[in-house]
């Protein structure tokens, strides 16, 4: 049996970060990945005629500055552009709302007085997002983790929020568990603006704008924005792929060994101590430290197994809400389609179809009852396919469809086609030539993501990013400090604090924790 200091399971971005960082400390690290390449849910797949692109992750905007700096990723051709991505809230009746970068620092398409109200509201949102921002890079204080430093950080976070003034602090306490619908309806009038904010607050989580605590979704997003390069108005050139490649090269250079197409079937555990892993093909590796970057549900129930865990813990893990609710539609087009006002759809824009708050809420209602939304909301990015490819001049549209049920009432067989057609016919309203130029279409549903990317429920965040599963409750209490009841086993995936999108802080925090605690 080959032996290492550390085995990392899963070569997603968090897995790569942990592996690279631990290898840099002089540990011998093995990274085991079930798929045939690195990147996890951000990996590139061959989509059409040899053209490769990330099938799932389309947005690299949230990558943490700390991660890039800590691992020195700048060395690996990670270049930055001026962040010019604007968001267009598509609206058929009225003029579309256009959000400038940094979540609408500048805004077009709404009345003057509404602009003023929006700016005030936006500032309030940003001030309050400090809450998550300063907690994100800390190991949560919990039953197992009570260091002075982490407690002090918790105190300072509260103090800083309090120092914004009594009124601001009271406002935070008033707003924190509210629904985003009430907040925008208090202040704003423009239907498409309210739709856009509702969409951004609830994308990827199973809440509607009228669900209590849906405001937290927005706070989370903004804090991530502040912790990323968007704060400096920069974006990563080449997006997701460049970032993942840089991570891989960093890991490789630090001496991480890789095993691809190696699906871990179980951990080798004796007397609550993890000593190695066993792959499906029967190969075993041993290590004193094992770090799982896959979903907590898969880690605890499949790899560790309920027979090694307290009933109290398996109860909580099984009670996690981890069924995915977002599907991904990739369309390759001959050329960039024209809008009806003869402008081009542009790769500098993110297009969001969420015409009103009511529309987002009714989409969510369909999800609740495991039905397809009648008029699905989505966001869409365009990216030009490089000239080296045979598809010269072609363009890829990456579309995230919100509120797609994990288990549909009835059969997906025909519904898949129905969903694709609904989205395309919505786009047709702005770009009448869109359909004509389609070369290739593929839709990845949550249950398909589950299978293809080995993540229980096919959930982006591994489990819901909601009030009951944040900070020291993420993934659940007792395992929120990246350690587990199994000695030598750590978790570092999106299911841990702070989790979420392509962020990377889960991996970085976990690596720090392991460096502090485990024996070399």
Partner 1 sequence: MTQLREKKDRDTTFSKPLFRSPFYDFFAAQETEGHWYDWNGYKSPTILSDEELEYFSIRSTCSVFDITPLNKYRIVGSQAEEFLNKLTVRNVAKQNVATVKYTLWCDQEGFVIDDGTLFRISDNDFRLCSQEKHLPWLIDTSHGFDVEIIDESKHVCGISLQGPTAASILRLLGVNGIDNLKPFHLFQTKISNIPIMISRTGFTGDLGYEIFMKNNVADKFIERVWNAGTNHGLTAIGYNALNMARIEAGFIVANVDFISSDHAIRPNRCRRPDDLGLGWLVDLKKGFFNGKKAILNSKLEDSAAFKIYTLEIDGKEPAEGSVIYYNKKDEVGTVTSAIWSPMTKKSIALAQLKLGSSKSKMENLWVEIYSLKELQYHKLMKKVSIVKPPFINLARRSACPPSNC
- CB burial string 359-394: b at 16+ within 10 A, e below: bbbbbbebbeeeebbeebbbbbbbbebeeeeebeeb
Please report, for residues 83, 332, 395, the alpha-carbon distance to residue 439 in angstroms, rounded to integers and kept in the order given.
Answer: 29, 5, 10
CB of 312: closest distance to partner 1 in angstroms? Answer: 4
Closer residue to partner 1, CB minimum distance, 127 or 266: 266
Single out the residue of 318, 340, 409, 520 in contact with partner 1 (rule: CB under 8 A). 318
Single out the residue of 307, 411, 414, 516 in contact with partner 1 (rule: CB under 8 A). 307
**Residue 475 token pair:** 């993934």
CB of 305: closest distance to partner 1 in angstroms? Answer: 6
Per-residue mark of binding to partner 1, 458-497 (x: CB under 8 A): ---------------------------x------------
Q: Which stretch binds partner 1 (CB under 8 A): 286-294, 306-314, 348-356, 392-400?
A: 306-314
Asked if residue 146 binds partner 1 (CB under 8 A), the reply is no
Asked if residue 306 binds partner 1 (CB under 8 A), the reply is yes
> Strand ranges (DSSP E) for 203-300?
234-236, 257-259, 264-270, 273-279, 284-292
Closer residue to partner 1, CB minimum distance, 92 or 319: 319
> DSSP letters along 396-450, please?
EEEEEEES--SS-SS-HHHHHHHHHHHHHHHHHTT-TTTGGGEEEEEEE-HHHHH
CB of 406: closest distance to partner 1 in angstroms? Answer: 20
Per-residue mark of binding to partner 1, 266-305 (x: CB under 8 A): -----xx----------------------------x---x
Angle at CA of residue 493, ends 82 and 360, nearest 5°: 65
CB of 8: closest distance to partner 1 in angstroms? Answer: 24
CA-to-CA distance for 251 and 261, rounded, in angstroms? 18
CB of 307: closest distance to partner 1 in angstroms? Answer: 6
Among residues 422, 437, 443, 445, the alpha carbon closest in space to that of 332 is found at 437
Single out the residue of 311, 341, 387, 414 in contact with partner 1 (rule: CB under 8 A). 311
Q: In what order do the strands lie in the sheet with 107-108?
A: 107-108, 97-99, 86-89, 349-353, 378-384, 395-402, 326-333, 438-444
Among residues 13, 82, 11, the alpha carbon closest in space to that of 503 is found at 13
CB of 271: closest distance to partner 1 in angstroms? Answer: 7
> DSSP letters along 67-123, please?
HHHHHTGGGGT--EEE---EEEE--SSSPPEEE-HHHHSSEESS-HHHHHHHHHHHH
CB of 286: closest distance to partner 1 in angstroms? Answer: 20
Please name the residue that has the structure tokens 């970085």: 508
Q: Which stretch binds partner 1 (CB under 8 A): 14-22, 38-46, 222-230, 311-319?
A: 311-319
Closer residue to partner 1, CB minimum distance, 307 or 413: 307
Asked if residue 84 binds partner 1 (CB under 8 A), the reply is no
Single out the residue of 2, 162, 174, 315 in contact with partner 1 (rule: CB under 8 A). 315
Instruction: Return the half-sphere exposure (C-beta side, CA atoms, 13 A cut-off) of residue 399.
Output: 28
Please name the residue that has the structure tokens 């109290």: 312
> DSSP letters along 108-173, please?
ESS-HHHHHHHHHHHHHHHHHTHHHHHHHTSPPP-SS---HHHHHHHHHHHHHHHHT-HHHHHHHH
Q: Which stretch binds partner 1 (CB under 8 A): 14-22, 163-171, 245-253, 314-322?
A: 314-322
**Residue 238 token pair:** 């080449």
Chain positions 172 to 191 lying near partner 1, rule: CB under 8 A, are none
Closer residue to partner 1, CB minimum distance, 163 or 273: 273
Closer residue to partner 1, CB minimum distance, 137 or 308: 308
Asked if residue 313 binds partner 1 (CB under 8 A), the reply is yes
CB of 144: closest distance to partner 1 in angstroms? Answer: 12
Q: Which stretch binds partner 1 (CB under 8 A): 190-198, 307-315, 349-357, 400-408?
A: 307-315
Q: Which stretch binds partner 1 (CB under 8 A): 118-126, 275-283, 310-318, 466-474?
A: 310-318
Closer residue to partner 1, CB minimum distance, 272 or 344: 272
Please report, for residues 457, 511, 513, the alpha-carbon distance to residue 487 in angstroms, rounded to integers and kept in the order given.
Answer: 27, 16, 14
CB of 485: closest distance to partner 1 in angstroms? Answer: 7
Single out the residue of 82, 123, 310, 517 in contact with partner 1 (rule: CB under 8 A). 310
Among residues 323, 421, 343, the alpha carbon closest in space to that of 376 is found at 421
CB of 401: closest distance to partner 1 in angstroms? Answer: 33
Closer residue to partner 1, CB minimum distance, 253 or 487: 487
Q: How many residues contact partner 1, by CB under 8 A?
A: 16
Angle at CA of residue 395, ends 333 and 440, nearest 5°: 35
Q: Which residues of this protein are in contact with partner 1, per CB under 8 A?
A: 271-272, 301, 305-315, 318, 485
């Amino acid at each position: 049996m080959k032996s290492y200091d550390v085995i990392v399971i899963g070569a997603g971005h968090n897995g790569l970060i942990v592996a690279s960082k631990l290898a840099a400390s002089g540990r011998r690290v093995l990274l085991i990945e079930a798929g045939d390449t690195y990147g996890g849910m951000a990996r590139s797949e061959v989509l059409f005629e040899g053209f490769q692109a990330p099938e799932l992750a389309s947005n690299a905007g949230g990558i943490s500055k700390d991660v890039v700096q800590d691992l020195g990723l700048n060395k690996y051709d990670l270049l930055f552009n001026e962040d010019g991505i604007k968001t267009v809230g598509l609206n058929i009746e009225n003029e579309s709302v256009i959000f400038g970068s940094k979540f609408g620092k500048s805004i077009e398409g709404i009345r003057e007085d509404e602009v003023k109200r929006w700016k005030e509201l936006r500032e309030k949102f940003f001030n309050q997002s400090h809450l998550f921002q300063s907690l994100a890079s800390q190991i949560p204080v919990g039953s197992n983790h009570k260091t002075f430093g982490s407690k002090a950080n918790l105190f300072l976070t509260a103090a800083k929020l309090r120092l914004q003034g009594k009124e601001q602090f009271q406002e935070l306490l008033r707003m924190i568990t509210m629904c985003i619908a009430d907040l925008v309806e208090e202040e704003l009038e423009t239907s498409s603006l309210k739709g856009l904010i509702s969409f951004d607050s609830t994308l990827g989580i199973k809440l509607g704008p009228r669900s209590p605590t849906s405001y937290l979704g927005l706070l989370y997003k903004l804090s991530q924005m502040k912790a990323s390069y968007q704060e400096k108005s920069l974006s990563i050139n080449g997006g997701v792929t460049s970032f993942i490649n840089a991570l891989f090269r960093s890991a490789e250079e630090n001496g991480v060994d890789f095993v691809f197409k190696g699906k871990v079937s179980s951990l080798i555990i004796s007397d609550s101590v993890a000593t190695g892993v066993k792959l499906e093909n029967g190969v075993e590796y041993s290590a004193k430290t094992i770090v799982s970057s896959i979903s907590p549900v898969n880690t605890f129930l499949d790899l560790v197994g309920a027979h090694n865990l307290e009933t109290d813990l398996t109860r909580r893990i099984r009670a996690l809400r981890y069924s995915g609710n977002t599907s991904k539609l990739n369309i390759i087009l001959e050329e960039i389609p024209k809008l009806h006002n003869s402008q081009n759809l542009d790769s500098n824009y993110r297009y969001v179809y969420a015409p009103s708050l009511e529309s987002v809420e009714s989409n969510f209602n369909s999800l609740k009852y495991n039905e397809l939304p009648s008029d699905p909301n989505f966001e869409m990015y365009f990216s030009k396919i490089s000239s080296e490819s045979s598809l010269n001049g072609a363009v890829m549209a990456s579309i995230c469809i919100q509120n797609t049920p994990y288990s549909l009432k009835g059969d997906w067989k025909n519904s898949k086609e129905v969903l694709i057609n609904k989205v395309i016919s919505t786009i047709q309203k702005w770009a009448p030539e869109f359909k004509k130029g389609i070369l290739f279409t593929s839709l990845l549903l949550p249950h398909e993501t589950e299978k293809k990317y080995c993540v229980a429920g096919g959930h982006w965040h591994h489990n819901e990013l909601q009030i009951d599963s944040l900070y020291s409750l993420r993934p659940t209490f007792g395992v929120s400090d990246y350690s587990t009841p199994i000695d030598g086993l750590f978790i570092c995936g999106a299911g841990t604090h702070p989790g979420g999108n392509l962020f990377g802080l889960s991996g970085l925090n976990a690596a720090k924790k392991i460096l502090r605690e485990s024996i070399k």
